[in-house]
Amino acid sequence: MLTCREMSELGSDIIDHRLTFKTRLGVLMHLSMCVRCRNYIKQLELTSNTLKKISIDDEYVDTDSILKSVRKPDA
């Protein structure tokens, strides 16, 4: 079974669905038993989805808009 450390190292691959079948089974087994890793993966997904929604201009970053977007609860 995967450890929590291994789960954290696989975080990006998990949310981007870049796992082998064997690794995916290990991840699912670990998530079924570990609430901390479930929360960690949910947080990664939330962060990833939020960053995808934010459009950033290389020359100007509107930090107020970013903070409002991050703090706004989903409806």
Domain that holds residue 8: 4-71
Predicted local confidence at residue 11, as pLDDT: 95
Count how many domains the chain has.
Answer: 1
For 8, counting Cβ atoms within 10 Å of its Cβ (0-12 exposed, 13-18 middle, 19+ buried), the class is: middle
Q: Cα(4)–Cα(22) distance, rounded to whole angstroms?
A: 17
Q: What is the pTM of this model?
A: 0.68
Q: In the structure, what pLDDT confidence band is assigned to residue 22 with cuts at 50, 70 and 90? A: very high
pLDDT at 57 over 70: no
Which residue in this structure is represented by tokens 């796992």? Answer: 19
